[in-house]
Amino acid sequence: MIGCLLVAGCKKTEQSVAPKPWEPTEAQPKLQSIKLWIGAEEMPAEIAVRPKEIQTGMMFRTNLDENAGMIFILPYPMRASFWMKNCTVPLSAAYIDPEGRILEIHDLQPHNTNAVMATSDVVKYVLEVNQGWFKQKNIEPGTMMRTESGSLRQTFNQ
C-alpha cells in the first residue's frame, strides 16, 4: 500500500521478475488528505481508497513528512497483508478495526517483498507512517483513531 500493497503471492527478488502489466511502475501523485487524530496526536494523512491507490501506496516515493501518513480504506474487514516492494522509506503500519481501534502495529522494511499478514481478520483500515512514529508517540494497540468528522466509520461511510 504506501510503498506497500495487499498481496497474495510468493517471495521473489525484484531483480529476477519483470513488473506485471498491472503492477505500478512509478509513484502516484499526492492523494487527497484528511486530518486524523490518533489518540491525542494529530496527523495529516493521504487517503488511498481506490484499488490502484491502495495497490500503489508509497511505492517509488523517496520520503514521507515526519508527522504524516497514508491511510488505506479497505473494501471490507479482512486479514490485511502489506509488503514493501518498490518502497524505499522504512514504515510502520497500524492495522485498524472498523471502529477505528488500532489492533496491531508492524514495522516494514524497505524493499521487503514478504507480506506482513495481520493476525486479525477484521482489519478495515491501515495507517502507514515513518517507522518508529507510533513508538515515539507512545501509541499502542487499543488506541482509537478519528477524524474531524467523527469516527473512521462515519467519515468514510462504511
| pLDDT by position in tens, the chain (length 158) | 444 444 433 333 344 456 666 677 787 889 999 999 999 999 999 999 999 999 999 998 999 999 999 999 999 999 999 999 999 999 999 999 999 999 999 999 999 999 999 999 999 999 999 999 999 999 999 999 999 899 999 999 85
Cα-based torsion angle of the residue sequence 54, 92, 128, 147 in order, rounded to the nearest 10 degrees:
140
Write down the pLDDT at residue 18: 62
Q: Give pLDDT, residue 23.
A: 79
* Cα–Cα distance, 54 to 76 (Å, whole number): 13
B/e letters for 119-146, b = 16+ CB within 10 Å, e = fewer, are ebebbbbbbbbbbebbeebebeeebebb
pLDDT attached to residue 21: 64
Amino acid present at 92: S
Domains, the chain, with CATH or none: 1-7+50-143 (2.60.120.1140)
Could you tell me how many helices (H) and strands (E) the chain has, helices first? 3, 10
